[in-house]
Amino acid sequence: MWENPTTDPDRRRPAWAAGVVLAAGASRRMGGYPKATVRIGAEAGVARIARLAVEAELDPVIVVVGPHADATRAHLRGVPVSVLDNPRWADGRTGTLQVALETLDPAQSVVVWPADHPFVESATVIDLGRRSAKDAMAVWVIPTYRGRSGHPVILRPPVLAMVRQMGRGEPLRNLIAHFGPQVGHLAVEDPGVVANVDSWAEYDRHLALWSSRQGERWTGA
């Protein structure tokens, strides 16, 4: 994302954030088919997210899995990420994030990227990082597309400290009011941030839009 001042590996600047991919859902609205594995072009959605996270210089990149762990892992072979199991995946997304946070430095910021948002473009992640770097006050950075909030988001240590104390089933959005003006919003020209793959109909619709932007046609999962 940003050039390192030296090629000496011992003097490179640290990663600007870790990446956590939330892929522990049951995918009930898709009939139990693991939504993390739907095809986005030539790769599974979770593989695309992981690849873009690595390319954006997030380190480490952690994928947290649940009931579809084996299928998800199969699509991550060869991708330099860590995969963690969440045995209590049914408790909710906050609990899934907490599994990853247990392994991370409390001083590290985190890009939280749900697996049901696989259409986000790489430039959006980079823009979020730049916005976060320029705004010391913003402890929570949210991308928006045409006024709608989306994912992934950047959470800084003050937010993550509270996330670690939340109930596993409590939505993260419950914290937004607490941070008030410290929540930053970045308008992006990327419909992928609000393209939630929550059903087969939504997947088909978003895939068609993404394919048209790419100038390509793909057959789907």
Q: 11-23, pLDDT tens digit by residue?
A: 344 579 999 999 9
> Is 9 domain-assigned?
no
| pLDDT of 214 | 84
Counting residues of the chain whose pLDDT is more than 90, the rounded percentage is 88
> Is 210 domain-assigned?
yes
Domain of residue 89 covers 18-214
Q: Is 50 exceeded by the pLDDT of residue 7?
A: no
Q: 79-111, pLDDT tens digit by residue?
A: 999 999 999 999 999 999 999 999 999 999 999
CATH of the domain at 188: 3.90.550.10
> Is 147 domain-assigned?
yes
Q: Number of structural domains, the chain?
A: 1
| CA dist., res. 120 & res. 128, Å (int) | 12
Backbone angles phi, psi at 19, to 5 degrees: -120, 130
Backbone angles phi, psi at 49, to 5 degrees: -60, -45
Neighbours of 210 (CB within 10 A): 19
pLDDT band at 204 (very low <50, low <70, confident <90, very high): very high
> Is 8 domain-assigned?
no
Q: 116-137, pLDDT tens digit by residue?
A: 999 999 999 999 999 999 998 9
> Is 136 domain-assigned?
yes
Please tell me which residue, 221 or 211, carries the higher pLDDT value: 211
Q: 135-156, pLDDT tens digit by residue?
A: 989 999 999 999 999 999 999 9
> Is 11 domain-assigned?
no
| pLDDT of 10 | 42
> Is 150 domain-assigned?
yes
- Is the distance from CB of 186 to CB of 143 less than 8 angstroms? yes
| pLDDT of 188 | 97
> Is 38 domain-assigned?
yes
Sequence letter at residue 96: T
Q: Rounded to two decimals, what is the model's pTM?
A: 0.89
- Is the distance from CB of 1 to CB of 56 less than 8 angstroms? yes
| H/E segment holding residue 120 | none
